Structure 1
Amino acid sequence: MSKLLYITAHPLSEENSVSQQVGKTFLETYTKKNRDVEVIKLDLFEENIPLLDADVLSAWGKLGAGESFDSLTNEQQSKLGRINELTDQFMDADRFVFVTPMWNFGFPPVLKAYIDTFAIAGKTFKYTETGPVGLLEGKKAVHIQATGGIYSEGPAAGANFGDSHLKTVLGFVGVTDVTSIIAEGIAMGPEKAAESKEAAIKDAQQLAANLDKKGLLKRIFS
């Protein structure tokens, strides 16, 4: 059975979040087309996502120096244990869906904290003589995002650093097949918001129905 990890990074309810409404449409369509898929939902605002703080960095240093896990403090063991759980969960999934808003050209900081739990040397990527190599090849990801303004064209074109950051990190760990659905201009009046949401929902339905069809997806969304 394949596994889809559905990751949301929004503090508001689905009723008050365009990105989550689009994400819901994607998930409903995908699961209808793929009834044997196991969906694991991860709400980052509700989960325990450790930061890479002094406890974690010190603990990694101790383990790297040959000390045992039992030598770590209770706090260090707890944080590293949780990071290991999240890393293993990410590695075990076949498909990833990230649902986020744009905040100040990026994404909520909890998503950066989560990224730091799966971008782990020796697990999801490795260093070689010719540079880093991602270890999660063959997996696919989708980024569903809502933005207040327009960043695909015009004066702010190219300033969607949240989408580019996520794609860069995923590519770094070997997930190079990433498709974005972005509802732009949600804060630019009711008419524009409705138009963008409707277009994103249609894209989500189409993407979900064709995500696992080789070759077809690139033709549709390229």
Structure 2
Amino acid sequence: MAKVLYITANPKAEKESLSLTVGRTFLDTYRQKAPQDQILEIDLYHTDLPLIDPDVFSAWGKLQKGEDFERLSAEEKRKVTHMNELADQFIATDKYIFVTPLWNLGIPPRMKAYIDSICIAGKTFKYTEQGPVGLLQGKKAVHVQARGGVYSEGPAKDFEFGDRYLRAILTFLGVDVSDSVIIEGADHFVDQRQQILDKALEKAKAASGLFAQG
């Protein structure tokens, strides 16, 4: 039995969001293909996410100097404890399904905050004489992303940093990232919106079946 995290970062209702609609189809298909797996859904817009702020930097600095955890302030304790909890949950999981829209060429800020919480040296990666090494080998991830315009080709091809960033940071941590499920052009080609969605739903079903096999 594998443990799976379904992680979404979109404040819209599911029926109003292409990424969440396709993501749900991906997840439903996965459940059918691997009913024995344990799935936990995380909506980052309804999750307490600590930011890397003065409290966190202060706590990290104190701990690096060898100060006792109990000497941290209440806010420092709360924030670094929760970040470690999120990282531990991520480490204990076998597969990850990320679902996001493309916002201003990148990922939503709450997804970035989540990534910052799980990228902890000594837990999900380590520094060596040869450079940083990811500690999450053997784990798998997939990204479902909706783009209003077309970024896979044409003038905007070099401006997409959402899927590229997420794939890069997960690879950095040692996670094997399969092909992303991309929905693009629905806002640009409004008259083709349903066809674009239908095509993405079919790709999601096929990709989910493969994702469930590993």
For this structure pair, what is the TM-score category when the shorter chain's length is used for normalisation? over 0.9
Match of 2:56 in 1: 56
**1:86: how far off?**
0.4
Q: Over the residues paired in the alignment, what is the CA RMSD in angstroms? A: 1.0
Match of 2:91 in 1: 91
Q: Provide TM-score, normalisation by structure 2.
A: 0.97
Indicate if the aligned counterparts of 2:33 and 2:212 stay in contact, CA closer than 8 A: no
Q: Partner letter of residue 153 of structure 2?
A: E
Q: Distance in 1 between matches of 2:158 and 2:6?
A: 26
Residues 17-72 of structure 1: CA distance to partner in whole angstroms, max 9, x if unpaired? 00000000000000111011111111001100000001001101101111111000
> Percent of aligned positions with the same letter in both sequences?
49
Work out the number of aligned pairs and report it: 214
Match of 1:143 in 2: 143
Match of 1:158 in 2: 158
Indicate if the aligned counterparts of 2:30 and 2:212 stay in contact, CA closer than 8 A: no
Q: Point out where structure 2 has 5 or more consecutive residues left out of the alignment.
A: none
Match of 1:192 in 2: 192
Q: Distance in 1 between matches of 2:178 and 2:125?
A: 17
Match of 1:220 in 2: none
Equivalent position SS for 2:121: coil
Equivalent position SS for 1:179: coil
Q: Distance in 1 between matches of 2:96 and 2:18?
A: 19
Indicate if the aligned counterparts of 2:102 and 2:146 stay in contact, CA closer than 8 A: yes
Equivalent position SS for 2:90: helix
Relative to structure 2, which stretch is displaced further, 6-15 or 187-196?
Answer: 187-196
Q: Point out where structure 1 has 5 or more consecutive residues left out of the alignment.
A: 215-222
Q: Distance in 1 between matches of 2:99 and 2:54?
A: 29
Q: Partner letter of residue 196 of structure 1?
A: I
Equivalent position SS for 1:208: helix
Aligned residue runs from structure 1 range 14-25, under 5 A? 14-25=14-25
**1:181: how far off?**
0.6
Q: Partner letter of residue 75 of structure 1?
A: E
